Amino acid sequence: MEENKTTPAPTPEVLQREISLILEDFKKDRENLIPILHRVAERFGYISSQALYEITAQTSIPVAEVFSVATFYRMLPTQERGRHVILFCESLPCHVVGGRELFHALQSELQLEPGQTSPDNRWTLLTTSCLGVCDFGPVISIDGNIHGNLTPESLPEVLSKYQ
C-alpha cells in the first residue's frame, strides 16, 4: 500500500506568518486578490478556509468576497488535491477522436469522478473545457505535462509514469 504523503495543515501562527510574507509582495487591495490567492495556493497546495479568513484579516477585504473569488476560478484550489492532478480535456475535438472512451477508461482506472481525490491522495481528477492542443486529442494533462493521442489501451502506461 502506498504511503500517504500529504502535508499536515499549518498551525495558525505559521499560516499567519506565511500569508504576511506573501502579502509583502502586493498591495493589500481587491485588485491583487487573484494573485494573492494564487500565491497562497502555490505555498500550501490549496486555499483552506483558515487561509481565506487570514487573508481577510490581513487585507480587510470582506471574507465573502475572498471566498467568492477563490471558489469562482478553477485554477484556485480550495480543497486539498492529490500529489498528481489530472486534467481531462472535454473539448469537442477531443470528444470526436475518442475522448469519451478515454474518459471512461480513466474513471475506471482511478475509480474517481471529476473533482474527487483518491483515498491515498495520489490522484485528483478534474475536467477542463480545453487544454489548447486539439491536434493531439484526446488529451490529458498530469501535473502540467500534456499527454496526447491517447487511447484506453495507452492510458495505463502513461499513468504508470507517475508512481
Domain boundaries, the chain: 12-72, 84-160
51/60 Cα distance (integer angstroms) = 14
d(CA 73, CA 93): 24
Written out in words, the top-level CATH class of the domain with range 84-160 is: alpha beta
pTM of the complete model: 0.72
Cis omega (within 30 of 0) on the bond before 12?
Answer: no
Given a contact cutoff of 8 angstroms between Cβ atoms, the answer to whether 103 and 139 are in contact is no
Ranges of the chain whose pLDDT falls below 50: 1-6
C-beta neighbour count of 74 within 10 angstroms: 13
What pLDDT digit, counting tens, does each position of 88-122 carry? 999 999 999 999 999 999 999 999 999 899 999 99
Rounded Cα distance, 76 and 78, in Å:
6
As a whole number of angstroms, the distance between CA 127 and CA 115 comes to 8
pLDDT of residue 8: 66
pLDDT of 5 reads 43
Q: What is the pLDDT of residue 26?
A: 87
